[in-house]
């Protein structure tokens, strides 16, 4: 995939905000002293009167965002995923979730791929935390095209939205001419009859590559992209279970409470099928180059192929 264009979804986030600022005059952006890293500085440069740096006070920033939303504005509160979901959880829950205010949270630098920043910043729990807040919509886009579309979808959605973006450059595989983002709808990227790989975020591109390798080995793998983890597309998951009877979820997040858990809930209630989860196990990350860490934690096409092959053979 060396010749494939790669863009970090945090870049997509910043660019989308700046592009959409003209179209939506009630769009405001808040940041917690990380505008260069979250890429909201792009919006700040273009719309300085609609940008507020709240300093290293993430909880307060969520309160400010709630206040703006209460006056009819559409605020995007931006910071690292660790701080948005961890440090500010109480304010997100009580000031945004409980009154169901129209606040959008742009959480960048999620997952193991934060790399050298280490375990304290590698947030692998954010999806699990946000899933517990009633009425919270969770979006985890896979590439630049999807991330930009997700930002506008969040604007058009009435209610709180948590958007997860990455630091590491991600392969761009969607076609901007044909791509259509539908909130709550998964995307069937590849049909298959032996196993269904359901992936989200950075892992979608890895799942696509894994499916190609599996096909060469005689295994017919379907690939589904779940960009909206809550509300999740139950129909596409149930149909996959009925067709292949074997589901493999892949996520750059803890295997506890994330995509795999959400898919397990759907299967248990609608159509029980064998489920295997690839993600960060019950452990913390550590500092290191992002690409190396992804391989170490099994978040790569090679490991997906290995796990999928073994699962199909033991079917």
* Tens digits of pLDDT across the chain (315 residues): 557 899 999 999 999 999 999 999 999 999 999 999 999 999 999 999 999 999 999 999 999 999 999 999 999 999 999 999 999 999 999 999 999 999 999 999 999 999 999 999 999 999 999 999 999 999 999 999 999 999 999 999 999 999 999 999 999 999 999 999 999 999 999 999 999 999 999 999 999 999 999 999 999 999 999 999 999 999 999 999 999 999 999 999 999 999 999 999 999 999 999 999 999 999 999 999 999 999 999 999 999 999 999 999 998
Residues marked active site are found at: 58
Q: How far apart are CA 47 and CA 54, in angstroms?
A: 16
Q: Are 242 and 215 in contact (CB under 8 A)?
A: no
- Strand residues in 1-66 grouped as ranges (E): 6-8, 27-31, 51-53
Fold of the domain built from segment(s) 6-171 = Rossmann fold (3.40.50)
Q: How far apart are CA 29 and CA 34, in angstroms?
A: 12
Same fold yes or no, 6-171 and 187-313: yes
The conformation of residue 261, written as its DSSP 8-state character, comes to: H
Question: How much is the pLDDT for 2?
Answer: 53
Question: How much is the pLDDT for 3?
Answer: 72
Q: Parse the chain into domains and list their residue ranges.
A: 6-171, 187-313
Closest by CA position to 221, among listed 200, 246, 238: 246
The dihedral over CA atoms of 56, 57, 61, 64, expressed in degrees to the nearest 10, equals -120
CATH of domain 187-313: 3.40.50.920
């Amino acid at each position: 995939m060396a010749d494939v264009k790669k863009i970090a979804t945090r870049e997509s986030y910043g660019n989308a905000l700046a592009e959409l600022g003209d179209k939506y005059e009630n769009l405001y952006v808040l940041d917690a002293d990380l505008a260069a890293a979250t890429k909201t500085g792009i919006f700040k440069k273009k719309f300085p009167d609609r940008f507020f740096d709240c300093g290293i006070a993430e909880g307060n920033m969520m309160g400010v965002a709630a206040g703006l939303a209460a006056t009819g504005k559409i605020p995007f509160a931006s910071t690292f995923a660790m701080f948005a979901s961890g440090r500010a959880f109480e304010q997100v829950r009580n000031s945004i979730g409980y009154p169901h205010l129209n606040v959008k949270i742009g959480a960048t630098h999620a997952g193991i791929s934060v790399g050298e920043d280490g375990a304290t910043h590698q947030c692998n729990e954010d999806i699990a935390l946000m899933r517990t807040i009633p009425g919270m919509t969770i979006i985890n886009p896979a590439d630049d095209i999807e991330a930009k579309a997700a930002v506008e979808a969040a604007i058009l959605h009435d209610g709180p939205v948590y958007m997860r973006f990455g630091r590491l450059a991600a392969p761009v595989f969607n076609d901007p001419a044909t791509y259509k983002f539908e909130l709550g709808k998964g995307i069937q990227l590849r049909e298959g009859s032996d196993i269904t790989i359901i992936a989200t975020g950075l892992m979608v591109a890895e799942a696509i590559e894994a499916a190609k390798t599996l096909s060469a080995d005689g295994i017919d793998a379907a690939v589904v992209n779940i960009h909206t983890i809550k509300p999740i597309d139950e129909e596409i998951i149930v149909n996959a279970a009925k067709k292949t009877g074997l589901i493999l979820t892949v996520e750059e997040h803890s295997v506890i409470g994330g995509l795999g858990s959400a898919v397990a809930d759907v299967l248990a209630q609608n159509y029980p099928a064998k489920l295997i989860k690839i993600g960060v196990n019950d452990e913390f990350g550590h500092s290191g180059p992002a690409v190396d860490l992804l391989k170490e934690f099994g978040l790569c096409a090679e490991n997906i192929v290995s796990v999928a092959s073994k699962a199909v053979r033991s079917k």
